[in-house]
Amino acid sequence: MLCRGIIKNVALRSSPMTKFRRSLSSYYELFPKTFQNKKPVWEIDQAKLRKEYRSLQAQFHPDVVKEGSEDQSSLLNKAYHTLKAPLTRSQYLIKILNEIDLRNDEVKKQITNSDPELLMKIIDIHEELSECEAEEEVRTIEKENKTRIREIETQLNKAFAESDFKTAIKLTVELKYWTNLELAIKEWAPGKPIELVH
């Protein structure tokens, strides 16, 4: 299972994660205070997760624990940032619960091609951004994009709660595009080409 090999080789005497090192099945188990039932879920308490992450990172700092601390700290860091961000959390949930890797280019392409209307919408908005000449125009696109992202996250919460993976997969692929647009907006400059990242 994911992470099991890494955890298995980490020998930490006073680790709260020692009991998981041979049976870890998901990143959620690394944060027992935040996810007490250990079940992978979409909706999370960001403040609680951040607090537990910082506490665990302090425990596994090389100055505190010598043996295996770097591996453990690296795993915690990867797990935290995966669960923290809506897009990566959704991709991760679909991978462990539905065994579909949405980071795979071919998989994304198949799903996107099944919704040509969405693809055209994405292309149109990217072109609109590339043609912007004033900051005010960009801010309008940014505001609309943030609204889209919030709406998708709300729909994802419902889809995962109902184990509706077909909808969750479609929404996650769409979220990836709008997240990429969000990055393009941050890098916008008058006349600068905007690349459509899949």
Q: Is 36 helix (H, G, I), strand (E, B) or coil?
A: coil
pLDDT tens track for 94-116: 999 999 999 888 888 888 888 88
- pLDDT surpasses 50 at 177: yes
pLDDT band at 198 (very low <50, low <70, confident <90, very high): low
**What is the reported pTM?**
0.81
In 99-189, where does DSSP find H-type helix? 105-113, 116-130, 135-161, 165-186
- Number of other residues whose CB lies within 10 A of the CB of residue 92: 22
The per-residue pLDDT for 74 is 85
- pLDDT surpasses 50 at 50: yes
pLDDT band at 23 (very low <50, low <70, confident <90, very high): low
Q: Which domains does the chain have, with CATH numbers?
A: 4-84 (1.10.287.110), 105-186 (1.20.1280.20)
